[in-house]
Amino acid sequence: MENIVVTGIRGLPLIRAGDNIPAMICERVKVENGDILSLASTVYSKAKGFTKSLADITPSKRALHLAELNKEDPRFVQAVIDASKDIIMEYPFILSELPFGHIGVRAGVDQSNIDDGMVIFLPPDPMHAAAQLREEIRQLTGKKIGVIITDTCGRSFRRGQTGHAIGWSGFTAIRDFRGDVDLFGHELKITEEAVVDEIAGFANFVMGESNNGVPAVLFRNCQPWTGHDDLYFSKTEDITRKLLKEHCPS
Amino acid sequence: MENIVVTGIRGLPLIRAGDNIPAMICERVKVENGDILSLASTVYSKAKGFTKSLADITPSKRALHLAELNKEDPRFVQAVIDASKDIIMEYPFILSELPFGHIGVRAGVDQSNIDDGMVIFLPPDPMHAAAQLREEIRQLTGKKIGVIITDTCGRSFRRGQTGHAIGWSGFTAIRDFRGDVDLFGHELKITEEAVVDEIAGFANFVMGESNNGVPAVLFRNCQPWTGHDDLYFSKTEDITRKLLKEHCPS
């Protein structure tokens, strides 16, 4: 088996609305069949114009209330509300479910790495975003790759953010071991591995945060896997979500 | 900047108590200064004898109760209780805090990839385990590497396990961006990245689960970082832990 090679794609300029990200990436790196490209959602959203000026936002009564509670700009809070399908926790920070299933702090709305007074939203349909990027790269290069769109999220129990997948194309989110046996022939108890999050996390490590300017990472020689795409728990399965929703102050 | 190269260390035999893992690894791969070695905790625990025969375990009244609740072997549940500092949730699965701070399902006690009737515990002091492995490899090769010991854990909100770090040596768990600015000169809001978990996750992807037999992964050319080691939330910070502890059925 060959080593996996992970390349941070350097030299990309600051991304602006209308930029052709697949073309910019393919100018800087030669993709091969089976490669996996991981792209920061912020960069995708900037290129597609999923941004808004705070000056264009009028906060609702609820936004004013939550802004007061969390000591945040009411217009920013309104952007968070607008991006949310459901607010699971209002305080000490807003935790939202997005329409596509992801649960994230402040609905993933971001104020860093963008001009003053602007906010960046997560792509509203990141599965479509990943599929489209994949197809555009296929058209540019003739190569079939996989794509992961990442967001940076906190976790329960452990401090620090890590990269998570919010959109993917070319493979399944979960590697499914159901029916497999271990080295001793026992049927496995742990049967589902969230491989897209494991790849997204390492991509985030390579990207760094802050001013490193590496929003895209290419993985070569990853072994393919099979599984399914049910990455998000349903409401009834999700113990944490249920408890937060029922018991958190509002 | 050079590409990162990730090598799954193949050809390791089934690990038995007393095996010299650092020597076995260094026979199969040439380490260099700055490399990061990620090792599955199960393999470390087997070599060090952190295992027990179910036949040697007498379940307590509490173990019998929790076993009935969760439809598990009472002796296995006793092993979970013995490994736990605190049981945070009793049902629908046992969620424990371990003495070293990690929170994991069934206290990380494992029955896969070991002989019938045996259980594997997480290393009781995985920070020491990582430091010792690092030192042993330095003595064998003269090279200074970093080490991460991994466990496979579930998450809130998302289905599927991912690799997490439970022990590390040679760097900090968290990359700390406090005081850094973004590409536009704003001070960053997200300031702490749990890089050891991002690396552990990708190592777990390369290891695979089940019968792949790749318990160790080597990373070359990772950029160094600075930060701190406060990976685990304190009880007062941890909203999820507090809610589970207060509201879950027992």
* Main-chain dihedrals φ then ψ at residue A24, nearest 5 degrees: -65, -35
Locate A149 and state its tokens.
């769109």
CB contact under 8 A, A243 and B240: yes
Describe the crossing of helices A61-70 and A74-83 by its angle, rounded to 10 degrees.
Answer: 110
pLDDT at B210 over 60: no
Q: Would you call A233 and B112 a contact, using CB atoms and an 8 Å cutoff? A: no
pLDDT at B146: 98
- Tell which residue, B67, B40, B71, has the closest CA to residue B133: B40
- Quote the CA–CA distance of B69 and B86 in Å, as a whole number: 18
Q: Do B230 and A159 touch (CB under 8 A)?
A: yes
- Enter the tokens of residue B61: 């009244």
- Dump pLDDT digits (tens) for B232-248: 998 888 888 888 888 87
Of B112, B198, B237, the CB nearest to A189: B112
Question: A63 to chain B, minimum CA–CA distance in Å?
Answer: 20
Paired tokens of A196: 């897209």
Residue A209: the pLDDT is 57
Which of B3, B173, B240 faces A5 most closely, judged by CB atoms? B3
Q: pLDDT grade, residue B112 (50/70/90)? A: confident
Residues contacting residue A73 through CB under 8 Å, at least 6 positions apart:
A54, A67
At B209, the pLDDT band (50, 70, 90 cuts) reads low
Of A211, A223, A244, the CB nearest to B181: A211
CB contact under 8 A, B209 and A188: yes
The predicted structure's pLDDT at residue B37 = 98
B57 CB contacts (<8 Å, ≥6 apart)? B75, B78, B79
Cβ–Cβ below 8 Å for B156 and A152: no
- Digit-coded pLDDT (tens) for A48-67: 999 999 999 999 999 999 99
Class of domain B51-121: alpha beta
**% of chain B residues with pLDDT over 70:** 94
| A205:B183 CB<8 A | no
Identify which of A7, A160, A210 has the shortest CB distance to residue B3. Answer: A7
Pick the residue from chain A with its C-alpha nearest to B29: A3
pLDDT at B123: 98
What's the pLDDT at B237? 86
Strand-strand pairing, A36-40 and A146-153: parallel
Which residues of chain B have a CB within 8 Å of the CB of A240?
156-157, 240, 243-244
Phi and psi for B88 in degrees, rounded to 5?
-85, -35
Is the CB of B194 less than 8 angstroms away from the CB of A114? no
pLDDT of B160 reads: 95
| DSSP string of B114-151, one letter each residue | S-TTEEEPPPS-HHHHHHHHHHHHHHHHS---EEEEEE
Q: Give the chain A residue nearest B10 (alpha carbons).
A: A1
- Per-residue pLDDT, B250: 58
Residue in chain B nearest A214 by alpha carbon:
B183
Q: What is the pLDDT of residues B47-73, one digit of tens each?
A: 999 999 999 999 999 999 999 999 999
Nearest-CA distance B148 → chain A (Å): 14
The closest alpha carbon to A121, from A104, A145, A146, A141, belongs to A104
Q: Which residue of A has its CA nearest to B199?
A: A202
Q: Do B116 and A186 touch (CB under 8 A)?
A: yes
The CATH number that domain B1-50+122-250 falls under is 3.30.1330.100
User: Which residues 6+ apart lie within 8 Å of B164 measured at CB?
Assistant: A158, B102, B150, B151, B152, B153, B197, B200, B201
Question: Would you state the pLDDT for residue B190?
Answer: 64
Task: Please name the amino acid found at residue B113.
Answer: N
CB pair distance less than 8 Å for B240 and A157? yes
CB contact under 8 A, B113 and A232: no
Alpha carbon of A133: minimum distance to chain B alpha carbons (Å): 23
Interchain pair A3, B7: CB under 8 A: yes
Give me the tens of pLDDT residue by residue for chain A, a chain 250 residues long: 689 999 999 989 989 999 999 999 999 999 999 999 999 999 999 999 999 999 999 999 999 999 999 999 999 999 999 999 999 999 989 999 999 999 999 999 998 777 788 999 999 999 999 999 999 999 999 999 999 999 999 999 999 999 999 999 999 999 998 777 777 677 666 689 999 999 999 999 999 855 567 999 999 999 999 999 999 998 888 888 888 888 876 5
Average pLDDT, chain B: 92
d(CA A223, CA A192): 16
How confident is residue B173, by pLDDT bands cut at 50, 70 and 90?
very high
pLDDT band for B212, please (50, 70, 90 cuts). low
User: What pLDDT is stored for residue A190 in this prediction?
Assistant: 64
pLDDT at B145 over 80: yes
Chain A residue numbers with beta carbons less than 8 Å from the beta carbon of B174 are 159-160
Tell me the C-alpha distance between A44 and A21, whole Å: 8
Are residues B123 and A191 in contact, defined by beta-carbon separation less than 8 angstroms? no
Q: What is the pTM of this model?
A: 0.96
Q: Domain boundaries in chain B?
A: 1-50+122-250, 51-121
Question: If you write DSSP's letter for every residue of A150-215 in order, what string do you get?
Answer: EEEE--SSB-SBEEEEEEEESS-SEEE-TT-B-TTSPBPS--EE-HHHHHHHHHHHHH-STT----
Closest CA–CA distance from residue B194 to any residue of chain A (Å): 5
